[in-house]
Every structure is written in structure tokens, then in C-alpha cells.
Amino acid sequence: MKKYFLLIILLAAFTVKAQKTQMSPIYQLRIYEIFESNKKEFHERFRDHAMRIMKKYNFKIISIYESKSDKKTEFVYFLEWPDETTMKKAWEDFRKDQEWIEVKKEYTTKYGDVVGNIEDRVLTKLDYSPN
């Protein structure tokens, strides 16, 4: 009887831990190299088109920044996702979105490439990270 009780306690603890792990969101850091010559157009495209289309696919943008150094200008933003599977599916759907494909084509035709190198990082929050 004592063994069964301990087994039940261990299973319950494991289940709670597994549920907590599953409920922890993941974060995505995106860094785009942008160009001073058409930076205004990049921001217009992202603000007026990309963000609106991303909402259709449940992108949760947490914050947006610009970083400038002597060598380059970067556009940086953070996203929050419930899990990596959801993130991958949303990006896949966004990239296939016909409106997004047309917007990218239009802007590239008018202004040239508005994005250079893209860095993408998936971040998992550590248990000792401040909230």
C-alpha cells in the first residue's frame, strides 16, 4: 500500500511538472539587416502589411527595436509562441500567404531589396529568469 501511495505521488508530481513545461511559452528573436537607402519603405512594409498579415496567423509580437552601428542598421523584434510547432506552422502559413507574396514583390520591384541578412533565434526562458 505504501508503495502505491508513493507511486501515485511521483506520478502526480511528474504530471504537474510536464504540464508546467508544456505551458511555458517560447520566444523568438528576429534580426533583420536593413538599409538606410530604403529604411523608410522597410518600416512601412513591416508596419502596414507584415504585422497585419501576421495577425491572421496568430503572431504575438512582444516588442520591436532598431539598432544602429557604424557598419549597419538592424531591425529587431521579439515574438512569443505557445510552442515551437505552432511557431513553425505560423511561419509556414505566413510565407505562403498570397497577399504577403504580392506585397513583397511590389516593394522589391519599387525599392529593391529592403532586407539583407536575417537572423532567427528560438529562446526558451530559464526558470530563474525574472518575470
**Percent of the chain at pLDDT exceeding 90:** 76
- pLDDT at position 6, please? 46
Q: How confident is the model at residue 24 (pLDDT cuts 50, 70, 90)?
A: confident
- pLDDT at position 7, please? 45
* Gyration radius of the chain's alpha carbons: 21
- pLDDT at position 15, please? 53
Domain positions in the chain are 24-124
* Single pTM value for the model: 0.79
Rounded distance between C-alpha atoms, residue 76 and residue 68, angstroms: 11
pLDDT at 13 over 70: no
Residue 121 in contact with residue 29, Cβ under 8 Å?
A: yes
Rounded distance between C-alpha atoms, residue 119 and residue 75, angstroms: 10
pLDDT at 38 over 90: yes
- pLDDT at position 125, please? 86
pLDDT at 2 over 60: no
Q: Residue 82: helix, strand or coil by DSSP? A: coil
Here the cell at position 25 is 511559452
pLDDT at 19 over 70: no
- Main-chain dihedrals φ then ψ at residue 5, nearest 5 degrees: -60, -45
- What is 24-124's CATH number, 3.40.190.10, 3.30.565.10, 1.10.540.10, 3.30.70.100? 3.30.70.100
pLDDT at 56 over 70: yes
Rounded distance between C-alpha atoms, residue 79 and residue 55, angstroms: 12
